[in-house]
Amino acid sequence: MREDTVTIEIDGRACEVRKGAMVIEAADAAGIAIPRFCYHKKLTVAANCRMCLVEVERAPKPLPACATPVMDGMKVFTTSETARGAQRSVMEFLLINHPLDCPICDQGGECELQDLAMGYGRGVSRFTERKRVVPDKNLGPLIATDMTRCIHCTRCVRFGSEVAGLTELGATGRGEDMRIGTFIERSVDSELSGNVIDVCPVGALTSKPFRFRARAWEMVQREAIAAHDAVGSNLHVHVRRGRVMRVVPRENEAVNEVWLSDRDRFSYEGLYAPDRLPPPRGGGDDGQGRGTDWGVGRGAGAGGPPAVGAAAGGASARGAPGPPASTTARSAPAAASSATSQSVSRHCPSSPRPRGARSRSGA
Ligand code: SF4
Ligand code: FES
């Protein structure tokens, strides 16, 4: 054993873990699934959802795995009667106020709460009182809200203050009166705002442009690289019947980690904008010509824009960059022909699915 590691036992399996690590990190490294909502590997620990409760030998009560540091010789039980009882109780508690509107929720099929409710929820609710209702916030043109679904995990709040560097969202009130919002009526304007859609484990924050457009299981996932800046963020393009429906981050620790800028995330909308430069036409006997690609069109003098950088000052003569070279248009179909189809995952990987669930690529 090295000096900077300790040995603990999780579900009877010995694990060598870095000193100071949390039990949930050790379990993740060992491939042992612990349910969680507020924990995100890129954010600080809040330990406010309590979904990750586990039994620890000699501890008087279940402990949150995301906030319990490992200690040498520690014995952790994630599936014992005590641990499972605690996890099921927390799930029941969360579902007291969370609406059961999965059929009309945009998060359906890729919701962490929906997944975990399958494994830890009760078939019948004991709650007969009225559920609370929270008015929706208008956060601007990119993020749709359904705040009645919020489970107060505060991932979106921590993302703003710890990653985006702008504390735009916060929590006000306590207990049942707690609300996530912008304090005063305003939109969320950070250039990274779309990431709160990914970190939200339920359908409280979803993508406005993508809203009600497709279900996760209807799309195929292609790998691509963002072409909008020098970062070259790694992307997944989600395509349904040849049409790009949305763009989400692809994890790459060396480049964009698990985040994506709004420009990279939402600019796919430009692919189908009505004022987009149409493809050149050439050939054909009917005088109308057939659609052709930019290379052919340019060579035949069909009026397409010159190559980017060819005109004076490097700008296109029409001010319109050649589409395939400068947007995700090329990335998506090109990748479509070469990349392997994968199951669709909206979330960045912080949350292993419960046992028995379909595994997600990139997670
Ligand atoms: S809006 Fe989503 S991410 Fe934010 S606190 Fe609520 S559940 Fe968590
Ligand atoms: S308390 Fe551990 S994941 Fe929320």
- Summarize the confidence of residues 290-305 as an average pLDDT: 65
Flag whether pLDDT at 346 surpasses 90: no
Flag whether pLDDT at 109 surpasses 80: yes
52 C-alpha to ligand 2 centroid (Å)? 5
pLDDT value, residue 285:
60
Which ligand 2 atom sits nearest the alpha carbon of residue 36?
Answer: 3
Q: What is the pLDDT of residues 33-79, one digit of tens each?
A: 999 999 999 999 999 999 999 999 999 999 999 999 999 999 999 99
Which ligand 1 atom sits nearest the alpha carbon of residue 155?
Answer: 3
Residues 6 or more apart in contact with residue 351 via CB below 8 angstroms = 36, 37, 39, 40, 112, 201, 363
pLDDT value, residue 29:
96
Output 3 or 59, whichever has higher pLDDT: 59
What rounded mean pLDDT belongs to the chain?
84
Q: What is the pLDDT of residues 303-317, one digit of tens each?
A: 555 554 444 333 333
Q: What is the pLDDT of residues 29-40, one digit of tens each?
A: 999 999 999 999
- Summarize the confidence of residues 170-189 as an average pLDDT: 91
Question: Is 197:184 a contact under the CB 8 Å cutoff?
Answer: no
pLDDT band at 185 (very low <50, low <70, confident <90, very high): confident
- Summarize the confidence of residues 343-349 as an average pLDDT: 53
pLDDT value, residue 84:
97
Flag whether pLDDT at 173 surpasses 50: yes
pLDDT value, residue 294:
75
178 C-alpha to ligand 1 centroid (Å)? 11
Q: What is the pLDDT of residues 194-249, one digit of tens each?
A: 999 999 999 999 999 999 999 999 999 999 999 999 999 999 999 999 999 999 99
The structure tokens listed for 79 are: 């599936």
Measuring from each residue's beta carbon to the nearest atom of ligand 2, which residues come in under 6 Å? 36-39, 47, 49-52, 64, 66
Flag whether pLDDT at 148 surpasses 90: yes
Question: Is 222:332 a contact under the CB 8 Å cutoff?
Answer: yes
- Among 52, 157, 135, which Cα is nearest to 94's? 52
pLDDT value, residue 284:
62
Q: What is the spatial distance between Cα 154 and Cα 181, in angstroms, rounded to a whole number?
A: 11
Question: Is 353:110 a contact under the CB 8 Å cutoff?
Answer: no
Flag whether pLDDT at 287 surpasses 90: no
Question: Is 281:289 a contact under the CB 8 Å cutoff?
Answer: yes
The structure tokens listed for 210 are: 């993508």
- Summarize the confidence of residues 109-124 as an average pLDDT: 93
- Among 11, 78, 38, which Cα is nearest to 350's? 38
Q: What is the pTM assigned to this prediction?
A: 0.81
Mutate-to-test residue for ligand 1 from 180, 193, 206, highest number of ligand atoms within 8 A of CB: 180
